[in-house]
Amino acid sequence: MTVSVYEDAELSRPAASAGVHADADMPEHGHGMTLVPRVSRISPGVFQVEGMLMHMPGAWEIYIDVDREGRTGRATFPVEVP
């Protein structure tokens, strides 16, 4: 998957100094993925994430942690895997 991080709500200024970490869990089952995803920066504020293997059906949450200027913020995306 591709993750883009912006400085502003209008999505006009890519967050060039940001770093990204990606993960996913099944909160109802208390486990995560069996692989550690690899993140590579492909342009300022844009990241390619590989290895997001959600290995069983059900309710997952994808976590995108954004590191910037010594602070980390998390975006959580619920995903239902059929």
Give the binding site for Cu ion (CB under 5 A). 26, 29, 56
- 3-state SS record for the chain: CEEECECCCCCCCECCCCEEEEEEEECCCCEECCCCCEEEEEECCEEEEECCCCCCCEEEEEEEEEEECCEEEEEEEEEEEC
Q: Residue 46 or residue 52: which is nearer to Cu ion going by CB?
A: 52
Question: Closest CB to Cu ion among 31 and 74?
Answer: 31
- Least CB distance to Cu ion at residue 64 (A): 20
If the CB atoms of residues 33 and 64 are measured against Cu ion, the closer one turns out to be 33
Q: C-beta of 58: minimal distance to Cu ion in Å?
A: 6
